[in-house]
Structure 1
């Protein structure tokens, strides 16, 4: 007699209880999956991972307290074989790249949960990668783009906070002319003409949070 396969044990990490409850209910209807635990932030996710050793961890990115990318890195340091599937509302290519570099095996938009979540969990559990089609398109579109430097990202965040060039220069100990030069390069990389558009595009692609 063949023994039934053990169900895929899933840890759900999200700072919204309604999302955790919805995903848990979906998983419990599957004969090959079970929700074994929940966490509301990155620190709790790490603690729950230690306690439960799930097969797959579903990880939100932006949460109150410790974030999902930091938790992903911490879990992968603890267990390099951990299978982590990011669930997020953010479709930006820059954020997806950060998640993959942090150790995520998949990146799925919450808008696709009903259609794709179960297949994504099975794929990631089986050792594969799963990237939402919309995310894959963004990654392909920007694959050859020159990445932003740490200095450019810092300037972007200061722009997003509403600081003028002179204030940005003061905070970074740089001249206004140097800031203008950085902005010229930054605009070219993002394909924009002004600071408002730069902040909008950077937020959409996941370079900065708004």
Structure 2
């Protein structure tokens, strides 16, 4: 029996994942959490075989949960299931200790394949992500200035580049506006920029933000996009 915990701030996504896994007797969903901090506590308490994590969550991001799980030497193997597939997340997550990475739009059978492979002690990457990492290796893996950011700073940088303001970030991430301001200052200093428009352009240049999002931020019309629940909730 493969024990699994589901960690995602969208109840609908957790319900979809549970509905899929409960059809297969080799899986047992032993717990759920709606944010990263609660999810990490659940992992420490239950010590499941696998934790299925979202990337963008309140309180602790998927990267932060992964990093802390590794520092705590938890036995749980982490699979990221998210709408985000482009750089710098896959490489950052693998460096942090994740062993699986699949998009939420993946077919049910790919999710099952990923979990089986991870449970067997192997790594699983969706084909597009594996190809991206291979291309980075072939090209010499040129580093991005965003590599200098911490997991929390990277999360905030991307959300700022997408058009979120401090009040929205405070509500979504469950941290104070003062803390958001400190992170924002650190991001600007590390990236050697002084405004959000420059941040959006830099994020687009390094493949972290698509051109449409960058244009919206530059025009002052950027806004947070809802998370997709395609395929996983079907």
Q: Is the 8 A contact 1:89 1:111 kept in 2?
A: yes
Q: Name the TM-score, length of structure 2 as normaliser.
A: 0.65
Q: Is the 8 A contact 1:41 1:68 kept in 2?
A: no
Structure 2 equivalent of residue 147 of structure 1: 143
State the shift of 1:150 in Å. 5.6
**Which of the two has higher C-alpha Rg?**
1
Look up the SS of the partner of 2:78 in the other structure: strand
Structure 1 equivalent of residue 31 of structure 2: 37
Q: Is the 8 A contact 1:9 1:55 kept in 2?
A: yes
**Compared with structure 1, are the counterparts of its residues 99 and 161 closer, same or farther at alpha carbon in structure 2 (3 Å cutoff)?**
closer
1:105 aligns with 2:109: no
1:75 aligns with 2:69: yes
1:118 aligns with 2:112: yes
State the shift of 1:25 in Å. 0.8
Match of 2:21 among 27, 37, 47: 27
Look up the SS of the partner of 2:106 in the other structure: helix
Q: Name the TM-score, length of structure 1 as normaliser.
A: 0.71
Q: Whose RCO is larger (CA < 8 A, sep 6+)?
A: 2
Structure 2 equivalent of residue 184 of structure 1: none
- The 1-side partners of 2:52 and 2:10 are apart by 13
State the shift of 1:39 in Å. 0.8
- Please say which of residues 138-147 and 96-105 is displaced more in the overlay: 138-147
- The 1-side partners of 2:11 and 2:36 are apart by 15
Look up the SS of the partner of 1:65 in the other structure: coil
1:132 aligns with 2:126: yes
- The 2-side partners of 1:198 and 1:73 are apart by 26
Look up the SS of the partner of 2:93 in the other structure: helix
How many residues are treated as equivalent by the alignment?
A: 174
- The 2-side partners of 1:35 and 1:17 are apart by 14
**Compared with structure 1, are the counterparts of its residues 46 and 196 closer, same or farther at alpha carbon in structure 2 (3 Å cutoff)?**
closer
Trace 1:48-67 onto structure 2 (pairs within 5 A).
48-67=42-61
Structure 1's unaligned 5+ residue stretches are 1-6, 163-167, 174-178, 181-193
